[in-house]
Structure 1
Amino acid sequence: MTGPFCADCGTEAQSVLGMDAGLRDPSHSFAQVWSCGVCQDAWCLADPDTGAPIGTPAGPETRNARELLQERRLDPIIRQAGNGAGAQKLAASRLVGFLADKLELPREAAEIACLDLEQCRAAWKALSGVDYDQVAKWARTERKRPAKPKPLPAPTMQERATAAEAARALRAALAEPAEWGEPGTMHADLARPRRGMWFTTWSKLPGLLRENDRYSHECLPGWTYSRDELAAEMIPDLEALAERGVRPTQATTPATTGAAA
């Protein structure tokens, strides 16, 4: 199982016993936790049944900010929904969605146990003066909106390593044609000749695909590039993914026809 990333420094956490992570609460001594190896006293509990992290590891300052946010901002709004367990559960779910919208985060990243310190501060401001009627109104409006594409999960360390190797190999191939390797080409007949597609891959560039005159890479799902954009955009996108875990957010320029390798 891939570990969660520390909310304070971004390091991938490791699964250890509470006593090994320095937890002072005796009830957590033999519990499984996810602990950051860089930040002192940065941890989160693991689900006792699955071992999955409950939130993201964080140090005392961030954990305190999360607790204060829950106590002073979320809980009062949730109580306004009524005393029934069902009503409060619905209110809590709506509130997470409301907060995700205000902070521009994926819903799963807007859970209080996942927020970093700056996000806690932003959430505090976003919920200032908000009551449950506003949250319920937002939820009713949100149901009428077209569904948003599900965001991709954070890249794993293996994906980042693969992206680093892909960037290196592509840079070498653009400098030396022999580094592309042997091409493999397939034609897909889509019943109408003008809609036929040519697919090309190269033996020394795993993950790279050309569809007609557009290029894509398995490390960058959803993005396509022209021939001229391989050096200008694809390689920087791969390097950003490898070095900082950042996926591209800006669309590439309109398609242009370039010479094929």
Structure 2
Amino acid sequence: MPKQFRKAGELPPCAHCGQPARKTTGEEIYLNHPDLADRIMYACDPCKAYVGAHKTNGAALGRPANAELRKARQALHDRMFDPLWENAPETGGYTPEDEVARKRIQNAARARCYAFLGARMNLAPEHVHIAEFDVEQCREAWRLLKGVTYPQIRDWSKAHKRAADKGEAA
């Protein structure tokens, strides 16, 4: 799924039926969370699927997902993917001098982790985002990341870049 719908005002397609979701708010989706009432959301009523939007421009954060898919995406993020890049300053042997440097390391690590995952899943870069995955892609990503460390991803990234600079396949 291309990220083309990720522009402000565009309706994202449902991850289940492919139909454009409708724009709504957190007031409808999160009935017991008044703090989220003003958040822009996109919902697919037949599939009981929804996704949030960027606070700044209202662009969808991915494709609407039902409860099963939201759970799979969240588990992949929380238990497998995010710890790789969030802990990169420590696990990668870096010593950031301040919080700005730490964030810079994490941002670079996140990009490397997505590039690594995309290469392993044979997905073009514009198709690699967990918020666009279906349940089977979440399972595949989990299998591919199991046991992988950030230093391994960093080494892969360096080798991939060297090969690209030489015009070779990594």
TM-score, reference length from structure 1: 0.51
2:89 equivalent to 1:71: no
1:202-233: CA deviations, max 9, x gaps?
Answer: xxxxxxxxxxxxxxxxxxxxxxxxxxxxxxxx
Once the two structures are TM-superposed, the CA of residue 72 in structure 1 deviates from its matched residue by 1.3
Q: Which has the larger radius of gyration?
A: 1
Name the counterpart of 2:114.
Answer: 96
Pick one of 42, 53, 64 that aligns with 1:57: 64
1:151-177: CA deviations, max 9, x gaps?
Answer: xxxxxxxxxxxxxxxxxxxxxxxxxxx
Runs of 4+ in structure 1 off by over 3 angstroms are: none
Contact kept? 2:10, 2:59, Cα under 8 Å:
no
CA distance in 2: counterparts of 1:30 and 1:79, whole angstroms: 28
Once the two structures are TM-superposed, the CA of residue 48 in structure 1 deviates from its matched residue by 2.4
Pick one of 9, 15, 21 that aligns with 2:17: 9
In structure 2, relative to structure 1, the CA distance for the partners of 1:90 and 1:32 (3 Å cut) is same
Name the counterpart of 1:128.
Answer: 146
The number of aligned residues is 146
1:161-202: CA deviations, max 9, x gaps?
Answer: xxxxxxxxxxxxxxxxxxxxxxxxxxxxxxxxxxxxxxxxxx
Pick one of 17, 20, 31 that aligns with 2:39: 31
Name the counterpart of 2:99.
Answer: none
Once the two structures are TM-superposed, the CA of residue 119 in structure 1 deviates from its matched residue by 0.8
Identity of aligned residues (%): 33
Name the counterpart of 1:82.
Answer: 89
Tell me which protein shows more helix as a share of its residues: 2
Once the two structures are TM-superposed, the CA of residue 73 in structure 1 deviates from its matched residue by 0.9
Tell me which protein shows more strand as a share of its residues: 1
Q: Which amino acid aligns with 1:52?
A: A
Name the counterpart of 1:105.
Answer: 123
Paired residues for 1:105-254 under 5 Å: 105-143=123-161, 144-145=163-164, 146=167
Contact kept? 1:11, 1:38, Cα under 8 Å:
no
2:88 partner SS: coil
RMSD between superposed Cα atoms in Å? 2.1
1:51 partner SS: coil
Greater RCO, 1 or 2 (C-alpha within 8 Å, sep 6+): 2
Q: Which amino acid aligns with 1:126?
A: L
Q: Which amino acid aligns with 1:106?
A: A
Please, which moves more after superposition, 77-86 or 133-142? Answer: 77-86
